[in-house]
Structure 1
Amino acid sequence: MVCTEVVYRSYEGLGSIRFQLTRRAGRQTLAAEDLLNLAISQRYFDQVAVFCPLHSDQILLGNEMTDVLRKTIAVS
C-alpha cells in the first residue's frame, strides 16, 4: 500500500468520514493533495505543523503553515 491508501483504509467510513475518490490514469485514487485540501478546509483533519525547506527553514504553524500548504498544492 502507498501512504494515501493507508489513510483511506484506516479512516474511510469511520464516523462521518467519506473520501471523494478521483479517477486518475484510469483508477480511483486519493492523492496526497486531496488530503491536504481536506485539512486546509478543516474537513476530517486538522493542520498541526509543516516543514517545507523550499519555503522556510523553520517549522511553520498557523496562517504561515496554511499559506505554505496552499503554495505546495499549487505547484504540484
Structure 2
Amino acid sequence: MQQNLAKKTNNYNPEFTYGIYQIDSELNTSYKDSFNNTVFDYPEVNGEIKSLKSNIKKYYLKEIVPTLFKYELLK
C-alpha cells in the first residue's frame, strides 16, 4: 500500500527502490504552518507509515521479545 501511495508523490523517482525508511525520510514531506503545526503534504502516506510502524511495534512486542527473553538475549 505504501509503495502505491509513494509513487504519487512529487519527489518519487522510478529509478530508485524505496524502503519504508526512504519513503518516510524522502517522500513523506511536511511543513510548519503559521501556528507551528506540522502539516504533511501527503497525509495518506503519513497515515500508512504511522499504521505500519504501530503494527510492527505490536508484532515485535508480541512475537520477538518473548523469544529474546526465553534465550536470555534480553534480561
TM > 0.5 between the two? Answer: no
TM score, norm. by length of structure 2 = 0.31
**Higher CA-based Rg:** 2
Taking structure 1 as the reference length, the TM-score comes to 0.30
**Higher-RCO chain (CA-CA 8 Å, sequence separation at least 6):** 2
Q: Point out the structure with the larger helix share.
A: 2
